[in-house]
Amino acid sequence: MTETVLVDEAIGETRACLFDDQGQAVELLIERWSERVTRVTEGSQHQGKVVKVDAGLNAAFVELPMGEAGFLPFGKKGRPASIHEGAKILVQVSREALPGKGPNLMLLPDDAQISAAPSLVQRMYLPGGVEVETADRAGREQIDASIDQALGKLVTIPGGGNIAIEQTRALVAIDVDTANSPQTGGKFNYKAAQTAFRHLRLRSLGGIVVIDFAPMRTKNERAALAAALNAMAKHDPARVDLLPMSRFGTVELLRRRTMRSPSEILLGRNGKKTLETIALESLRGLENEALANTSKQLKLRAGAAIFAWLEEDNIGWQEELVNRIGSRFKLVREDNFSRQQWEAVAL
């Protein structure tokens, strides 16, 4: 099986997922229509205005055409002569804004020509020879399943056992549990490490990560796992700094982040799906129903909150859906539904 990227150009958001040669989801990116004029993306180039030079940080803060001010570090050479408060400069986004942090920037030459922003697929870390395909309905379901994986707390390890992934303000904690696995020690921990690294990438997690492995009986098992972890860290497209395993069987690493995690896009502070997330799910459901019933009239039944979000139509979904399936659909408010309940039906 060849490594494949499935791209779902859904109404309201584009979703791209990389699957490895075993069919496992490895990397997931999501870009929303509602953020096109509120956020700058990684790799995009802009003319900005220097609003503050901070000598202590050896950096400047730059006002951008949209979103938060960017952070421009000067590096070892120090502040360029052209950088002063009020200066207009050309910059490229090296890391998109993360919760509580503005985007990171790099300075471009004064005579540079601003290039078009890279697409979602171009921003992925792709191996050579990967196939890029447009997701059909089955592909859309594959992406849906991958998103469910990326949002779940527990991840099953092949052969038994699981890892629990918990993201806190300070760090990402990963607890390894043998559960009902017939394997123990080094072999089990090797599979757990593979699963952990895959999910760090799939979930776009970074910063300090602590993995608490299952007990191992021998020094050879610990040494073999340490060597495997070093190899996995080098294979990760993000920079990973790995510390030696502690005597308690924990491993601490630092993984660089360049983008938000799916949970930061799809979930609210309460850990539940946002109204926009559920509304866009309902539109995909309606479009899927249209593809399955090419000549029938369609109805999207929605609870009060979903109905209000869709009726406001700040993203232009109705016009786009008409372009895709025609005007054979109707949005209906159902007062007997819960506020965020929906159902797409063919009549």
265: exposed, middle or buried (Cβ count in 10 Å: 0-12, 13-18, 19+): buried
Task: Name residues whose C-beta falls within 8 Å of residue 297's C-beta, 6 or more positions apart in sequence.
Answer: 328, 329, 330, 346, 347
Task: Determine the length of the chain.
Answer: 347
Cα-based distances in Å from 95 to 13, 256, 259, 280, 326: 20, 10, 6, 26, 39
Over residues 229-258, the mean pLDDT reads: 95
- Three-state DSSP at 141 gives helix
Over residues 177-182, the mean pLDDT reads: 84
Tokens of 4: 């494949």
Which residues are registered as beta bridge partners of 210? 173, 252
Over residues 107-112, the mean pLDDT reads: 94
3-state secondary structure 232-297: HHHHCCCCEEECCCCCCCEEEEEECCCCCCHHHHHECCCCCECHHHHHHHHHHHHHHHHHHCCCCC
Specify the pLDDT at position 1: 67
Residue-wise pLDDT for 280-338, tens only, equals: 999 999 999 999 999 999 999 999 999 999 999 999 999 999 999 999 999 999 999 99
Task: Name residues whose C-beta falls within 8 Å of residue 9's C-beta, 6 or more positions apart in sequence.
Answer: 134
Calculated CA dihedral for residues 222, 225, 226, 229, nearest 10 degrees = -160
Report all structural domains of the chain as residue ranges with CATH numbers, in order of start: 1-41+120-136 (no CATH), 45-107 (2.40.50.140), 152-255 (3.40.630), 267-346 (3.40.1260.20)
- Whether 189 and 213 have beta carbons less than 8 Å apart is answered as yes
Is the pLDDT at 27 greater than 80? The verdict is yes
Over residues 20-31, the mean pLDDT reads: 95
pLDDT tier for residue 217 given thresholds of 50, 70 and 90? confident
- Whether 11 and 48 have beta carbons less than 8 Å apart is answered as no
Specify the pLDDT at position 151: 96
Over residues 237-251, the mean pLDDT reads: 94
Per-chain mean pLDDT for the chain: 95
Quick count: other Cβ atoms within 10 Å of Cβ 40? 25
Which is it for the CA torsion 80, 85, 88, 92, positive or negative?
A: positive
Is the pLDDT at 148 greater than 90? The verdict is yes
Residue-wise pLDDT for 186-203, tens only, equals: 899 999 999 999 999 999
pTM, rounded to two decimals: 0.92
- Whether 279 and 344 have beta carbons less than 8 Å apart is answered as no
Is the pLDDT at 127 greater than 90? The verdict is no
What are the phi and psi torsion angles at 265 (to 5°)? -90, -40
Q: How far is residue 9 CA from its own chain's centroid?
A: 16
Where is pLDDT greater, at 127 or 227? 227
Task: Name residues whose C-beta falls within 8 Å of residue 35's C-beta, 6 or more positions apart in sequence.
Answer: none
Task: Name residues whose C-beta falls within 8 Å of residue 72's C-beta, 6 or more positions apart in sequence.
Answer: 50, 59, 60, 61, 62, 83, 91, 104, 105, 106, 107
Q: Tell me how far apart the alpha carbons of residues 160 and 148 are, in angstroms, rounded to a whole number.
A: 19
Specify the pLDDT at position 182: 78
Is the pLDDT at 87 greater than 80? The verdict is yes
- Whether 60 and 52 have beta carbons less than 8 Å apart is answered as yes
Over residues 46-55, the mean pLDDT reads: 96
Over residues 32-44, the mean pLDDT reads: 95
